[in-house]
Structure 1
Amino acid sequence: MKKIIIFALLIIVTSKLFSQNEKFGIEVNYPVLIDNNFIGVNYNGIIDLGLSYSFINTTIADFGVNFNTSIFRDSNKGGFSEIDITVISFQPSIYGEFKINGLQKFRPIARLGYTLLTFSNVIDFSTGEEIESNTSRGGLNLGLGVAYQISNRVFLKFEYDFTKLYETGRLSRSPFNTNINILAIGLSYKL
Structure 2
Amino acid sequence: MKLKLYCILTLFLALNLNAQESKFDIEVNFPIAIGDNFLGDNYNGIIDLGINYRFLQKEVLNLGVSANFGFFKNTKSGASDLNQLFDVKIIPIQPRLFAEFNIPDLEKLHPQIGIGYSILIYNADWADNRDAELPADIDDSESGFNFNLGIAYDLSQKLFLQAQYDFVKIGVENGVPDISYNTNINILKFGIGYRL
Q: Same fold (TM over 0.5)?
A: yes
The CA distance in 2 between the partners of 1:53 and 1:35, in whole Å, is 30
The CA distance in 1 between the partners of 2:128 and 2:72, in whole Å, is 22
Is 1:43 the equivalent of 2:37? no
Give a deviation string over 1:127-151, Cα, whole Å, max 9, x none. Answer: 7847400111000000001101110
Aligned to 2:171: 166
- The answer to whether the 8 A contact 2:153-2:161 is kept is yes
Aligned to 1:31: 31
The CA distance in 1 between the partners of 2:184 and 2:94, in whole Å, is 15
Higher Cα radius of gyration: 2
Which of 123, 126, 145 is residue 123 of structure 1 equivalent to? 126
Structure 1 residue 52 displacement after superposition: 1.1
- The answer to whether the 8 A contact 2:85-2:130 is kept is no
May I ask how many residue pairs the two structures share in their alignment? 174
- The answer to whether the 8 A contact 1:81-1:126 is kept is no
**In 2 relative to 1, CA 61–127 (structure 1 residues): closer, same or farther, beyond 3 Å?**
closer
- The answer to whether the 8 A contact 1:81-1:125 is kept is no
Is 1:83 the equivalent of 2:86? yes
- The answer to whether the 8 A contact 1:63-1:96 is kept is yes
Higher strand share: 1
Give a deviation string over 1:8-38, Cα, whole Å, max 9, x none. Answer: xxxxxxxx8xxx9411110000001111101
The CA distance in 2 between the partners of 1:83 and 1:114, in whole Å, is 27
- Give unpaired runs (5+ residues) of structure 2: 1-14
Aligned to 1:182: 187
1:74-153 pair list within 5 angstroms: 74=74, 75-77=76-78, 78-79=81-82, 83-126=86-129, 129=132, 131-153=136-158
When the two chains are superposed, the root-mean-square deviation of aligned CA atoms in Å is 2.1
- The answer to whether the 8 A contact 2:29-2:191 is kept is yes
**In 2 relative to 1, CA 135–127 (structure 1 residues): closer, same or farther, beyond 3 Å?**
closer
The CA distance in 2 between the partners of 1:153 and 1:61, in whole Å, is 19
Residue identity matched to 2:186? N
Is 1:72 the equivalent of 2:67? no
- Give unpaired runs (5+ residues) of structure 1: 1-15
Q: SS of the residue aligned with 1:76?
A: coil
- The answer to whether the 8 A contact 2:151-2:163 is kept is yes
The CA distance in 1 between the partners of 2:83 and 2:128, in whole Å, is 6
Residue identity matched to 2:120? L
**In 2 relative to 1, CA 106–133 (structure 1 residues): closer, same or farther, beyond 3 Å?**
same
Residue identity matched to 1:93? R
